[in-house]
Structure 1
Amino acid sequence: TLGNDNLSLGRARPGEAPPAKRPMDHFGFVVDTKEDLQAWYDFMKAKGVNLLDTPADHFDGARSFHCTDPAGNVIQPIYHPAISGQRFEGP
């Protein structure tokens, strides 16, 4: 695409299940600020979306929460300082 695509790969920690037993289990979208993330959480909560957790900080400065869409897919809205606010233009 000509948009902002992102694939996140992480190293397993000692004692975690092998990758084959930890399939890709969610989709994410990036928001520009922590305030935007909180606004999405508040909006989804008010609309009765199935929220799996509350906004929480990550060790790398990111902040996110998880919810499900109507089909049961897990969605992760995330603020991440390294990529939030990036803008790309087409050719």
Structure 2
Amino acid sequence: MIKAAESVGIRAEWVTCQNAGQLMKCDALFIHGTSSINHHTYRMARWAERERLAVMGDPQSIIRCTNKVYLAEILERAKIDTPATIVVPRGNAD
């Protein structure tokens, strides 16, 4: 990703939870990796959004895409082919 950014004149660098303070000097955040509401990437996305950075992998998208019921319903509504999906209420696996 860094090489691709550099090839079009964008300076990019890795920002991890260990050096998250680096976000203060960035214009945008592109999340490439695990994203769930229990992961540091979600917290970084929320912080970056509050600081008005452009965020690819924004908090709203993380919430929506980690909610598998929501995702199944919206894909079905959009008539997008997916593997067979059954939503089973908790406690009703039989």
Would you tell me which structure has more helix in proportion to its own residues?
A: 2
Instruction: Using structure 2 for the length normalisation, give the TM-score.
Output: 0.27
Larger RCO, structures 1/2 (Cα 8 Å, 6+ apart): 1
User: What's the TM-score, normalizing by structure 1?
Assistant: 0.27
Structure with larger Rg: 2
- Structure with greater proportional strand content: 1
